[in-house]
Amino acid sequence: MKKLCCIVFLLTCLTAFAQAQQRDTIRVSDFGLKPGTRENAVPFVQKALAACQNKTNPVLFFPKGRYDFWPQYSIERVYYESNTDNINPKRLALLIDKMNGLTIDGGGSDFVYHDRIQPFTVDNSQQITIKNLTIDWDVPLTAQGTVIAVTNDYTDVSINVLESPYIIENNELVFVGEGWKRSLWEIMEFDKDTRLVVAQMDNAWCRGAKVEELKYGTVRLYHRFRRKPVVGNLFVLRHSDRDHAGIFIIDSKNVFVENLDMYHTAGLGILSQYSEDLTYKNVRCVPNERKGRILAGHDDGFHYSNCRGDLIVDNCASGGRRLDYELLRRAIPLFRSDYVCFAANDSVGCQNHSYGLAFWIPVNSISNWAADTSDTYRFRSSLSAGIAMSPPAGDLNEMRIEWTKKMIAQAKAVRPYMKGNFYPLTGYSFDERDWQAIQFHMSKENKGVILAFRRKESFTSTMCFGLSEIDPKANYVFEDIDTGEKNTIPGKDLLNGYPLTIQEKRGSRIIFYSAV
């Protein structure tokens, strides 16, 4: 009998809990908003948020679908947002103001915005969760085009006019959108294959550049780039101000953003000011590949200003594949990619990580699993400014301990040079028949290091590399870190190249050099 009473009591509690949860869940559809209609969601969501004010731990739920947000009926408020243009008032699509315990559950929906508007604002609130949705614009606030012809004097560009309509005004390229009109003022070039910023590219400031229309959708830009663009590559054609963030959090506490793809915004991704205890999990600030786009926003994906407490970024930015260059002016990636966590990772992929990141983020760190097998080639393939190693405790012997000590000593010897100038000595390649080699040079000291890899299917045992910053009047001493062998070569001879031999396939060399 007692057991039966306990069961009845438990079922009563569960029923009461479920009823409480149901009472605290508010659907936007209850206010007349339906997905897929392209009707302005702003006034409906405002009514739903007002209803949430009277609930305990309310959940505002969006049945899955597309919801459109227009500036009409949006709340306007003055905010001074960090690293954002001071254009006020901000137009707020969804304002969470002085609320406690609210959850916005998008239910896997697409939130599509129009004109210049800030998607989410969390002000003076706590225990707030935003989850399960995407953020994007139909007409993006930054245009893009494809390079179709290049000369010394002009570049021809094809523009997707369905997404980025434009006019020619006073011989300038002017983009027109939903309630705005802005002139082109900056260009960034992206590689057509990797869809990432072209290495060693300078932002092209081209405000006022003369433009001629060849036909609608194709323009001729008269601008001399410092580095000639490549036909087929993509241009980001920047015309907008950085006037809002994707999600702006201010004077708030315990805010959680989960399972959210931010495909576009005119400025920062998630901007947090004067807030504490913030958690972002499975959040990606990335371009919408389904629409063929290459830019998600300008500068930081995650930006913190005067925040404190636990600031947790967990499994965000697509597994570390898109490190935020602006943010990294203020931070160091201690785990540059989770690529090494998977059994299928190989040394070539790790070599290419080091190669590519050295252009932008030479100071980075990664775990190195070569200690599992005492594999020198694999260890050097992941060589970076920081190395985390954890030899398997159950399989330690004197030989493995000595090997690990030797690798750590080599890593420490190479590390200071990574603050120097970086020069690729070979191309970027995944082909196992190739070599890959890179050079770091410290100009003031006139010394450097060469890291070279002969991959496992390469039939070439000797390569000749053109080293950078070599003084033809100086002599240089080269030292092989493995053998300790030294040889001196006149700088004038090095102008013809530095020959390097690796006898074994899947072999590597670390060569130090210095002027004497």
Give me Rg for the CA atoms of the chain. 28
Q: What is the largest CA-CA distance in the chain?
A: 100
Are both 404 and 454 inside the same structural domain? no
CB atoms within 10 A of CB 227: 12
Let me know if residue 255 belongs to a domain. yes
CATH number of the structural domain spanning residue 436: 2.60.40.1180
Assigned domain for 12 exists = no
Considering only CA atoms, which of 282, 312, 286 is closest in space to residue 297? 286
- Residue 20 maps to a domain: no
Residues 234, 248: one domain? no
Q: Which residue bears the tokens 């694999």?
A: 378
Residues 41 and 111 in one domain: yes
**Which 8-state DSSP code applies to residue 341?**
G
In whole angstroms, give the CA distance from residue 416 to residue 410: 11
pLDDT tens, the chain, 516 aa long? 545 455 444 544 444 444 444 548 999 999 999 999 999 999 999 999 999 998 999 999 999 999 999 999 999 999 999 989 999 999 999 999 999 999 999 999 999 999 999 999 999 999 999 999 999 999 999 999 999 999 999 999 999 999 999 999 999 999 999 989 999 999 989 999 888 788 666 667 888 999 999 999 999 999 988 888 999 999 999 999 989 999 999 999 999 999 999 999 998 999 999 999 999 999 998 899 899 998 888 777 888 889 999 988 887 764 333 445 555 656 677 777 767 765 556 889 899 989 988 888 888 888 776 656 678 998 999 888 888 776 655 566 788 888 888 999 999 999 999 999 999 999 999 999 999 999 999 999 999 999 999 999 999 999 999 999 999 999 999 999 999 999 999 999 999 999 999 999 999 999 999 999
Quick count: other Cβ atoms within 10 Å of Cβ 469? 14
Domain containing 217 equals 143-238
Task: Domain count for the chain, please give it.
Answer: 4
Residues 252 and 118 in one domain: yes
Are 369 and 438 within one domain?
no
**211-218: long-range pairs with CB below 8 Å, 24+:** 211/168, 211/171, 211/172, 211/173, 211/184, 212/168, 212/171, 213/168, 214/156, 216/161, 217/158, 217/159, 217/160, 217/161, 218/148, 218/156, 218/157, 218/158, 218/159
| Domain stop point among 183, 204, 238 | 238
Enter the tokens of residue 306. Answer: 């005067």
Choosing from 274, 308, 329, the residue where a domain stops is 329
3-state DSSP call for residue 232? coil
SS3 content of the chain, % helix, strand, coil (to 5): 20, 40, 45
Residue where one domain finishes, among candidates 419, 445, 472: 419
Reduce the DSSP state of residue 195 to 3 states and report it: coil
- Do 34 and 132 reside in the same domain of the chain? yes
Give the tens place of pLDDT for each residue, 188-231.
899 998 887 886 666 678 889 999 999 999 999 999 888 889 99
Q: 200 with 262, same domain?
A: no
Assigned domain for 478 exists: yes
Q: Do 403 and 453 lie in a common domain? A: no
Q: Is residue 13 part of a domain?
A: no
Rounded-to-integer distance, Cα 204 and Cα 196, Å = 16
Is residue 3 a part of any domain in this protein? no
Count of other CB atoms within 10 angstroms of residue 430: 12
| Same domain, residue pair 130 and 36 | yes
The verdict on residue 218 lying in a domain is yes
Q: Are residues 253 and 127 in the same domain?
A: yes
Same domain, 100 and 37: yes
- Tell me whether residue 346 is in a domain: yes
Characterize the bridge pairing of strands 204-205 and 172-176.
unpaired
Whether residue 250 sits in one domain with residue 214: no
What is residue 3's three-state secondary structure? helix
